[in-house]
């Protein structure tokens, strides 16, 4: 299936003071080594620390509301998918040498969690929290499915504009993407997934 839009970049959508507030709230959460699937760690595929904002925690509602409003805006204006609910919101911290290799967010079949049975991730969001000058490396790359695999240098694009603090990318969850290794400093980001009934 060919779509007219696979991702959208909202440059400097979130003010710096709000980004800093999210960083402070995220660092106050329990930090854990990142996994590629629930409880499954693979250092060759992913190295970072993560924490989750909880939907049932009233102190986290503002973070969920922020993510939901922007993803809904993108879906209404660009993607027009059938969506059900925001799945979760993840705070990620990358330090020197850490990265997340090529991966899609959508599941091969349907969601691995029983409570989301019959649903899959449809839209993903990543929000740049750190000021650009606070780290080097760590670029966000995405694979463009409309470009031939024979032109791999054109098929992989680096979204350099996503380095700006407060910039948000909303994209199809089945697209392959990665975060390149951090060389110096720290990169903080917020990631969220919106799920819906599985594709038919």
CATH fold of the domain at 7-197: Jelly Rolls (2.60.120)
Who contacts 93 (Cβ-Cβ below 8 Å, separation ≥6)? 26, 27, 31, 48, 49, 50, 186, 187, 188
Tell me what pLDDT residue 36 has. Answer: 59
Instruction: Report in angstroms the alpha-carbon separations of 113 from 18, 120, 184.
Output: 31, 10, 36
- The pLDDT value recorded for residue 39 is 47
pLDDT of residue 34: 87
What pLDDT is stored for residue 37 in this prediction? 56
The pTM is what? 0.91
> What local confidence, expressed as pLDDT, does residue 200 receive?
60
Digit-by-digit pLDDT tens for the chain (200 residues) are: 446 689 999 999 999 999 999 999 999 999 999 875 554 445 568 899 999 999 999 999 999 999 999 999 999 999 999 999 999 899 999 999 999 999 999 988 878 787 888 899 999 999 999 998 999 999 999 999 888 888 988 899 999 999 999 999 999 999 999 999 999 999 999 999 999 998 76
């Amino acid at each position: 299936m060919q779509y007219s839009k696979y991702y959208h970049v909202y440059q400097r959508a979130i003010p710096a003071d709000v980004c800093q507030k999210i960083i402070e709230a995220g660092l106050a959460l329990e930090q854990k080594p990142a996994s590629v699937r629930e409880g499954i760690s693979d250092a060759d595929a992913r190295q970072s620390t993560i924490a989750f904002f909880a939907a049932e925690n009233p102190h986290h509602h503002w973070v969920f509301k922020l993510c939901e409003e922007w993803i809904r805006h993108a879906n209404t204006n660009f993607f027009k998918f059938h969506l059900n609910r925001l799945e979760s919101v993840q705070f990620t911290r990358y330090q020197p040498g850490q990265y997340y290799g090529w991966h899609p967010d959508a599941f091969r079949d349907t969601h691995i969690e029983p409570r989301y049975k019959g649903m899959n991730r449809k839209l993903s969001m990543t929000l740049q929290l750190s000021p650009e000058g606070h780290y080097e490396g760590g670029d966000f790359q995405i694979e463009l499915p409309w470009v031939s695999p024979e032109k791999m240098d054109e098929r992989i694009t680096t979204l350099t504009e996503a380095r700006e603090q407060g910039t948000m990318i909303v994209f199809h969850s089945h697209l392959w993407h990665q975060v390149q290794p951090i060389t110096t400093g720290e990169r903080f980001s917020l990631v969220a997934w919106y799920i819906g009934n599985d594709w038919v």
